[in-house]
Amino acid sequence: MSARASLLGIADLGADDVGRILDTAGRFGQVMDRDIKKVPTLRGRTVVNLFLEPSTRTSTSFELAAKRLSADVLSIKGTGTSMDKGETLKDTILTLEAYDPDVFVIRHPQVGACRLADGYTDASVVNAGDGTGEHPSQALLDLYTVQREVGPIKGLHVAIVGDVLHSRVARSGIRAFTLMGAKVTVVAPPTLVPRHLAEALGAEVSSDIRDIADADIVYVLRMQLERMGAGGFVPSLDEYARMYQVDHARLRPGQRVMHAGPVNRGVEISGALVDDPETLIEAQATNGVVVRMAVLYDVATGAAGGSAQGDAALEAA
Amino acid sequence: MSARASLLGIADLGADDVGRILDTAGRFGQVMDRDIKKVPTLRGRTVVNLFLEPSTRTSTSFELAAKRLSADVLSIKGTGTSMDKGETLKDTILTLEAYDPDVFVIRHPQVGACRLADGYTDASVVNAGDGTGEHPSQALLDLYTVQREVGPIKGLHVAIVGDVLHSRVARSGIRAFTLMGAKVTVVAPPTLVPRHLAEALGAEVSSDIRDIADADIVYVLRMQLERMGAGGFVPSLDEYARMYQVDHARLRPGQRVMHAGPVNRGVEISGALVDDPETLIEAQATNGVVVRMAVLYDVATGAAGGSAQGDAALEAA
Amino acid sequence: MSARASLLGIADLGADDVGRILDTAGRFGQVMDRDIKKVPTLRGRTVVNLFLEPSTRTSTSFELAAKRLSADVLSIKGTGTSMDKGETLKDTILTLEAYDPDVFVIRHPQVGACRLADGYTDASVVNAGDGTGEHPSQALLDLYTVQREVGPIKGLHVAIVGDVLHSRVARSGIRAFTLMGAKVTVVAPPTLVPRHLAEALGAEVSSDIRDIADADIVYVLRMQLERMGAGGFVPSLDEYARMYQVDHARLRPGQRVMHAGPVNRGVEISGALVDDPETLIEAQATNGVVVRMAVLYDVATGAAGGSAQGDAALEAA
């Protein structure tokens, strides 16, 4: 019917694309306040969720988003599938593509896997996290959350604290906040921040936690314990917590704290701060569904290409 | 719209609550005799099944119940989720709660986990089994089964045989049958029956299998092989089977046998008895869906609080 | 309402049954070309997918087929279920059967498991692969694919190449092609072809790969690496590939290549051939959904018994 698009990374988007998706999310947000939280927008369309890494919140959030759009959803996890028989991602996609799905939502342990998959299918592909690459729907819901809870992104100062090296959330977040006119400072021990990358992305770099003082938003990254291995990136978790843990003592009044979850209480963030209702953490989780509804709608209807037509379809819902 | 309730244990219910749920189940039972086994009652509502222990029948039964009520269902199993990354139950609930589900159905290996979860969410929580705590929907379907197949509960004598120590089915069952006016006798080797608990619950205790002779209903508990470990609760399974296995030889005509499944044929119950159509075992399984439809309806619509409104909604379906 | 049937193996079907299912698939195929790929045919019916072996394509294909028929679908995988507690297939079926499903779709590692299950339930059973037994829906979609892409089956010559010994695809395929009037030749190393079986099925047997030269269709079987164990069926995979790998060099123009997937590139088939659009491999995958819609429709509505009534139901959709 209409052209399809994919969402592989924030790097591919312009500010107008971001604005359009956030607007759509806002309109779906109104639907979600109703008693019957469902629209017929994607009825008869098929969304395949292919998650080849463990996930609760992202997979659940996309699955619920698709169901609330009335799409048929197939959820495929990385175990119990032919991937166990040594099948390649290419062949899995080709097989699934043959069923004529409208959208693939893919999480994969390797950078670039979603872009690769996009080359093998006529369906839209949404990157739900590719190794240490990108996690664009997370960055979009972060922008949406800040816009609703704090105000316009333009001119804000965002400090991103922690394990930037292993974080796709950071990569997408730096790009997204910068694109929308925020200033970004990355704060991390030198071993955990690839300086040339942060600079290439337009972020300042600091290894002094006191440099979060100037920020309006303090975005705390998950310490990816399961990826640390014997890598020796930090002397010890205790040492890391002592030097870089974000807690109430290190914040000044008015600063808003974000975290994409799941949190390690007492490691990168104090338990008391996680439970503080002033943070944006719960709002981030809450906004996941409507932003992902907007993303699925945007790619499945090719809203990028013809917004008038797209708008009509949304109103009809 | 209306107040929500949770179902955490039989201990929280009065006889009127039980009566209301069983009545609702009866009405859903009539719907299930139709060709199209589906009502629009919970359309646009979201039920999250969070099963952190293996389960076929309970998880399937709740999933099917939710689908037949036209709810959107998310099923989350204990593997392949962020729980694997060390996330706590609290944080999992907070994340999922942010999606604004109407009901959580939770199975968890630890006693009290569902009550804990209930404190973290505005959604209804249904306990689908918490360690050795309670399993209230099982007890409700057991009551429903006896009421339909045998008659009024009041005045019946129920013998519960076997591994009471590890059984949430027993804990909920003793409470439920007693609440509705039955007399309960627990029959088990001394190591497998916590005497003070059985007495506190209002049940008589015996270690002599011949004491099942007086019962109208003989409820056989699953021997939880996977929980026996090196605990030494019974000398051996053969010894247990010889002393306590319920089979035709130990029953008198007219006694009705129940088992919540899955059975260990030849351990706590003879294979021949499992296959005897006079038992209530198949009816228990069959009644699982309509009773769980009634439970979901009851908690999601807050039927406990305003039955007139609740009745109208059900008729409309 | 109407009599139910099961699909346990091609061995149970006549040419008229196959013709009826392929006709139904053709009509569903027209629906799938629409924007909204969904019919209300099985609304309010329940399909239980019980997959006790890993699978991507078959389980996904049946799940999507059921959803596009508007059925409620329960998908149960072999892990995280009571099967882990040592429950037998019989008891699992009896439990699930109590929920009054309309159709069970079952994959099981043992030959005959689906026929066994069929004896325990009033629901229809569809064999989605039982050990080295049969895989009838695969054979039906293969026939459908050949009929659409090549022409009538009658009179064609089909060469089936490879690990016949471990292949349910081969067993169902030989029966199906033969039933519909094709000539079948099996080509494999002597250790991988049970000569008496192939002959009993009406196929010729050869161990010389050059004998594929006469065939119109070259059907390549997956080398079941995970079943080879230390069985010593082939000296080495390299050796097997050198002797029997199907690649462009061994084909003549006009021969059409099939493979049920997942493929082992470079083992039983060359990567270049997998990627060649002239093969029927992608069409096989694509046709999986409509053929499985037809199978589910056929068994659930008892179309075998009363085709006039069946036709009316389909038109209504």
* Res C306 pLDDT > 80: no
Give pLDDT tens digits for A122-180: 999 999 999 999 999 999 999 999 999 999 999 999 999 999 988 999 999 999 999 99
A128, containing H or E segment: strand A124-130
Q: Which of A1, A46, A92 sits opposite C56 (nearest CB)?
A: A92
How many whole angstroms separate alpha carbon A163 and alpha carbon A132? 11
pLDDT classification of A197: cutoffs 50, 70, 90: confident
A10-133+284-316 and A151-279 in the same fold: yes
> The whole model's pTM is what?
0.80
pLDDT classification of A310: cutoffs 50, 70, 90: very low
Residues in A closer than 8 angstroms to B98, CB to CB, are: 282, 285-286, 288
Query: Could you tell me which of A108, A110, A201 has the C-alpha nearest to residue A160?
Result: A201
Give pLDDT tens digits for C46-73: 999 999 987 878 998 999 999 999 999 9
Burial of C35 (0-12, 13-18, 19+ CB in 10 A): exposed
- Per CATH, the homologous superfamily of domain B10-135+285-302 is Aspartate/ornithine carbamoyltransferase (3.40.50.1370)
* Res B27 pLDDT > 90: yes
C144 touches chain A (CB under 8 A): no
What pLDDT does A202 receive?
A: 83
pLDDT mean across residues, chain C: 87
Give the closest-approach CA distance of B55 to chain A in angstroms: 17
- Structure tokens belonging to residue A53: 């890494």
Q: State the helix-helix crossing angle for B136-149 and B15-32, rounded to 10 degrees.
A: 70
Architecture per CATH, domain A10-133+284-316, reads as 3-Layer(aba) Sandwich (3.40)
What are the two backbone dihedrals, phi and then psi, of residue B243, each rounded to the nearest 5 degrees? -85, -35
CB contact under 8 A, B76 and A64: no
How many contacts does A have with C, using Cβ atoms within 8 A?
83
Give pLDDT tens digits for C66-100: 999 999 999 888 754 555 555 678 888 888 887 88
Architecture per CATH, domain C10-135+287-316, reads as 3-Layer(aba) Sandwich (3.40)
Residues in B closer than 8 angstroms to C1, CB to CB, are: 35
CB contact under 8 A, A87 and C35: no
Please report, for chain C, the start and end positions of each structural domain, with discontinuous segments joined by +.
10-135+287-316, 151-279
Query: Could you tell me which of A282, A142, A162, A271 has the C-alpha nearest to residue A227?
Result: A162
C232 touches chain B (CB under 8 A): no
- Structure tokens belonging to residue C174: 């030989």
Give pLDDT tens digits for B168-190: 999 999 999 999 999 999 999 98
CB contact under 8 A, C64 and A74: yes
How many whole angstroms separate alpha carbon C193 and alpha carbon A272? 67
Whether A253 contacts A278, CB under 8 Å: no
C119 touches chain B (CB under 8 A): no
* Res B137 pLDDT > 90: yes
Residues in B closer than 8 angstroms to C63, CB to CB, are: none
- Structure tokens belonging to residue A315: 């109103």
A226 touches chain B (CB under 8 A): yes
C74 touches chain B (CB under 8 A): yes
Give pLDDT tens digits for C110-124: 999 999 999 999 999
B58, containing H or E segment: helix B57-68
C171's CB contacts (< 8 A; 6+ apart) are C132, C133, C134, C135, C197, C201
In this prediction the ipTM stands at 0.72
Give pLDDT tens digits for A239-255: 899 999 999 999 999 99
CATH classification number, A151-279, choose in 3.40.50.10190, 3.30.380.10, 3.40.50.1580, 3.40.50.1370: 3.40.50.1370
Length of chain A: 317
Give pLDDT tens digits for A254-293: 999 999 988 899 999 999 999 999 999 989 988 999 999 9
pLDDT classification of B1: cutoffs 50, 70, 90: very low
Give the closest-approach CA distance of B75 to chain A in angstroms: 9
**Mean pLDDT computed over B90-96:** 83
pLDDT classification of B279: cutoffs 50, 70, 90: very high
C43's CB contacts (< 8 A; 6+ apart) are B36, B38, C70, C71
Q: How far is CA A213 from CA A60, A202, A209, in A?
A: 35, 19, 8
Give pLDDT tens digits for A180-196: 999 999 999 988 887 77
B117's CB contacts (< 8 A; 6+ apart) are B89, B93, B104, B106, B108, B125
pLDDT classification of A231: cutoffs 50, 70, 90: low
Report the residue of chain B nearest C78, measured CA to CA: B56
Percent of chain A with pLDDT over 90: 64
Residues in B closer than 8 angstroms to A35, CB to CB, are: 1, 44
Whether A150 contacts A171, CB under 8 Å: no
A87 touches chain C (CB under 8 A): yes
Neighbouring chains of B at 3+ CB pairs under 8 Å are: A, C
